[in-house]
Amino acid sequence: MTKLDQLLAKLTTSPVEAQQQADPHNAPPIEPEAEIKPKRERRRALNPQPTPGGEARAHAEVWLQAVRNWYTRSSGGFLVDGSGPRRANGSRMQVVGVGGLGGPPIAALHFEQVSTPIGWLSERAVGEAITRSGQPCLERLQKGGGPSTLIDASGRWRTDREATLTCAAAVLALAVELGDLQAQQHLEVVKRAQLPPE
């Protein structure tokens, strides 16, 4: 190897590689370069804890979608009153209808339920709670109208902040009335956000 080749070899090898070639037992391990993450992911790593405002927005959004989509299911069954008269032969044959032919009195029961973040609730109870609230936002949502979301693409409140916070407060107040235990603290956060800055 000529002196020129040796010089080129020194210039093209990194100092770490040169040290490893000189003394492989004492060379520090080569660490791979840290993967460069997109800015959005780096921001999350700096603040991994959810904020009260972010949790309130998410909770209000879930309730808004439940009221807006209004997914229902039908449930029902038969109620049998076992105190009815028995047939002469001791049989407990059941006849569909209300009472009838010497069997025990029975009745068919049918009810509708609506899907909410806290489970399936009576459609009538949720509808009555919306009517009692007197909030136009909730009544529009129940009919499939109103805002499609409370949150913009960045995860913040939509730009029409006053109307958005009013609707968020309405859906969270409905959630509290229907028994959502977490909704009360989120409602307080939304109410604080509605206050004018001092």
- Calculate the dihedral angle through the C-alpha atoms of 160, 163, 169, 173, rounding to the nearest 10 degrees: -140
* 76 neighbors 111 (Cβ within 8 angstroms): yes
The helix/strand/coil state of 120 is strand
pLDDT of 147-170, one tens digit each? 899 998 888 889 888 999 999 999
Q: pTM of the entire structure?
A: 0.62
pLDDT of 89-148, one tens digit each? 444 444 445 555 556 556 677 789 999 999 999 999 999 999 999 999 999 998 888 889
Cβ burial of 157 (10 Å; 0-12, 13-18, 19+) is buried
Q: In the β-sheet with 119-122, what is the strand arrangement from edge to edge?
A: 72-80, 106-116, 119-122
